[in-house]
Amino acid sequence: MKKKQLTFMIAGFLLIVAGCKDTAMGPLATNGDIPGVISNLQVTNVAGGAKITYTLPDDEDVLYVVAEFISASGAARTVKASAYTNYIILDGFADTQPREVTLYAVNRSESRSKPVAVNINPLKANLHVVYESLKVRETFGGINALFTNDESGEYVFYTLIKDEDGGWVSYDRLYTNAKERDYSVRGLESEPTDFAFFFTDKWKNSSDTLFTTMTPLFEVALDKSKWKHLPLPNDTYVPEFADWRVENLWDGTTGLIFYVKPNLEDLALPNWFTIDLGQEAKFSRIRVNQLSHNDAWMFQGGAPKEFEVYGSNAPAADGSWDSWTLLSEYESVKPSGRPLGDLSNEDRAVAIAGEDFTFPLEVDSYRYIRFKTKRTYGGNLNVMIAELTLWGQPVN
């Protein structure tokens, strides 16, 4: 008897499971009625798309609206909008060709209404506006690209070079949604090089391509084994801990840092430190690596926001400024522009890679540099930097 009861219980359980599975796979309801037709369609064409407003049928069973159209590539696309709104947004159009869009109301039984067709005429896509803002120029060790992205769209910026066989090779790509980018592609020899530049968006649309031939300016990384600290009387270089000393700025790694002691007497901004490079050189650029081992340090705390770099070949022993020449003023830029503590993936990538700052072409050659921090991201008086790197043309 007990065996029979157990058999019935198992069979009943399997029936319940099977019933639940069938219900989950089906529509939300089984009402066979067809929804009413969408009406009062109005089109507002926008950059790269359109906004279509409408009146839903007077039917409480309507769950969503679906729009169908053919993309420029010939693929069918479907966009849905909840019944809690009275509009649908269509985007991802790379051209301004007119397109027919078909809309349906769909109920909980997944039954569609009769179709309603409307034409849209997308305006110029922001992808092309960004491309039109692109300016490229030669720089030390590569090329420099400037462009604006006022709508903060998500794009990939490609740099291609022509190889020895005459084929195009992807050399670099940048993922960005920053409103402005001043971006340099490095690591190239100082010889005439054929370049191609273009943008793509998240719908796999591509902009036009800019073709040009440029010759990167010659530079080499200055030998850090020659560097040493030059402690001058009015410099600020006392670390919070002995392991966080200024010499970590040229140890070849961002793992060890320079971190000024925060409770030094009379600590204030601006403050500065001095480095003997061990050789005279005409500088091309400096890379500043902020602390990047954790999100809590990126673009905040004592990371330099505004700073100046000075050069000298005979620094005064008393630390006075008369023997120093201002080479350039710089400002670090957080790509996203977000407030302190709010980081985008692009922010993190820049913090980890370091920021490059170019010297004016007309600067003379120097052996000593002074790094003067005027403002930090977090307002800290104690400066925090992970690594410094200099490029240029050594003298003799």
In a shared domain, residues 194 and 241: no
Helix (H) or strand (E) holding 358, with range, is: strand 355-358
Q: CA-to-CA distance for 10 and 24, rounded, in angstroms? A: 21
The whole-number pLDDT of residue 73 equals 80
Residue 7's identity, in one-letter code, is T
In a shared domain, residues 345 and 293: yes
In a shared domain, residues 87 and 194: no
In a shared domain, residues 176 and 276: no
The whole-number pLDDT of residue 30 equals 55
Helix, strand and coil in the chain, % to nearest 5: 15, 45, 45
Number of domains within the chain: 3
The whole-number pLDDT of residue 372 equals 99
Q: How far is CA 263 from CA 77, 231, 259, 267, 303, in A?
A: 61, 19, 12, 7, 17
> Domain end: 88, 120, 152, which one?
120
The whole-number pLDDT of residue 361 equals 86
The whole-number pLDDT of residue 32 equals 62
The whole-number pLDDT of residue 222 equals 98
Residue 174: CATH number of its domain:
2.60.40.10
In a shared domain, residues 185 and 233: no
- What residues make up the domain containing 360? 220-394
Q: CA-to-CA distance for 22 and 127, rounded, in angstroms? A: 46
In a shared domain, residues 243 and 104: no
On whether residue 26 sits in a domain, the answer given is no
Reduced to 3 states (helix: H, G, I; strand: E, B; else coil), residue 101 is strand
Residue 318: CATH number of its domain:
2.60.120.260
What letter does residue 35 receive in the DSSP assignment? P
In a shared domain, residues 96 and 244: no
Contact indicator for 70, 114 with CB cutoff of 8 Å? no
> Domain end: 193, 214, 235, which one?
214
Which residue matches tokens 């977000």? 338
Give residue-wise pLDDT tens across range 179-188.
Answer: 999 999 999 9
The whole-number pLDDT of residue 12 equals 47
> Domain end: 93, 120, 147, which one?
120
The whole-number pLDDT of residue 6 equals 39
Greatest C-alpha distance within the chain:
106
What's the burial of 239, exposed, middle or buried (CB within 10 Å: 0-12/13-18/19+)? middle
State pTM to two decimals: 0.79
On whether residue 320 sits in a domain, the answer given is yes
The whole-number pLDDT of residue 159 equals 99
Give residue-wise pLDDT tens across range 165-203.
Answer: 999 999 999 999 999 999 999 999 999 999 999 999 999
Q: CA-to-CA distance for 230 and 260, rounded, in angstroms? A: 16
The whole-number pLDDT of residue 45 equals 98
Residues of the chain with pLDDT under 50: 1-26
On whether residue 67 sits in a domain, the answer given is yes
Q: How far is CA 53 from CA 39, 45, 50, 124, 201, in A?
A: 9, 11, 10, 21, 26
